[in-house]
Structure 1
Amino acid sequence: MIEAYNIKEKGYHPFIVKEGWQLARLNFTEAQHINQIIRLDVHLKTDEIFIPITGKSVLIAASMVNNEPQFETELMKINHIYNIPKGVWHNIAMEEGSEVFIAEKSNTHVSDFEYFPLSNAKKEELGILVKAQLESQNG
């Protein structure tokens, strides 16, 4: 009757997919490294809930102005709940060892996403913002 899950593999893993909702775990992977964010993604049919459970992660949101992302970043606190509303471009920058739970509509990872590639200038800008968030905790 009781189901238990412990996902340790790197990357994104939807592990409970039910009618209308799903829970996933995002474990650090090189693509999420603070220096490796190369794109943003958006969901048009669902909000996305993030709950960091260990490590250091920075939530990235962006609005588009003249087809250029204007970033907002926040260092996520462990066990706090963060929501990215549907239609908001976003990503997560993570340090090695970081883990985040994600709740969203079911099968979002299959069909409800678009990507926006970042220019080199925007990657550099984002890297500076993410590092500033991480340093604010250390300083």
Structure 2
Amino acid sequence: MVEEFTINEEGYHPFIIKKGWQLAKLNYTKEQHISQITQLDVHLKTDEIFVAITGKAVLIAAEIIENEPKFEIELMKVNQIYNIPKGVWHNIAMEEGSEVFIAEKADTHVSDFEHFPLDNDKIEELRILVSSELQSEID
């Protein structure tokens, strides 16, 4: 009667998909390292809930004004629940060993996303912001 799930592989893995909702696990992958983030994503039909399980992860949110993203970043606390409302551009930077649960509408990963590519100046700005946030946590 009890279902049990263990997901150790790198990357994004929806593992419970039910009518109307899904739960996924995002395990660190090189693509989520701050040095590799080159775009933002948005979901138009669902909020997205994030819960850090272990490691260090930084949620990146942005408002795009006149084709320029204005970033807001949040160093995630383990076991704290974070919500990115539908329509908010976002991404997540992770350090090696980090794991995050993600809850959202079912099949969001299949059809409800758009991408916004960052230019080189915005990539560098984001790297500085995230690195500074991670460093301030160490200090």
Q: TM-score, normalised by structure 2?
A: 0.99
1:136 Cα offset (Å): 1.1
Alpha-carbon RMSD:
0.4
Residue 10 (structure 2) pairs with residue 21 (structure 1): no
Hey, what does 2:76 align to over in structure 1? 76
The one-letter amino acid of 1:131's match is S
Q: 1:44-102: CA deviations, max 9, x gaps?
A: 00000000000000000000010111000010000000000000000000000000000
Unmatched segments (≥5 aa) in structure 1: none
Amino acid of the structure 2 residue aligned with 1:129: L
Q: What is the letter of the counterpart of residue 124 of structure 1? A: E
Q: Structure 2: which 5+ runs fail to align? A: none
The match for 2:138 is 138
Which residue number corresponds to residue 40 of structure 2?
40
Cα deviations by residue, 1:20-47 (Å, 9 ceiling, x for unpaired):
0000000000000021111100000000
Q: TM-score, normalised by structure 1?
A: 0.99
1:125 — aligned with what? 125
- Residues of 2 paired with 1:61 and 1:45: CA distance? 17
Distance in 1 between residues matched to 2:68 and 2:25, nearest whole Å = 29
The one-letter amino acid of 2:95's match is E
Q: Secondary structure at the match of 2:64?
A: strand
**Equivalent-residue separation in structure 2 for 1:92 and 1:42 (angstroms):** 12
Number of residue pairs matched? Answer: 139
Q: For residues 55-134 of structure 1, what are the structure 2 equivalents within 5 Å?
A: 55-134=55-134
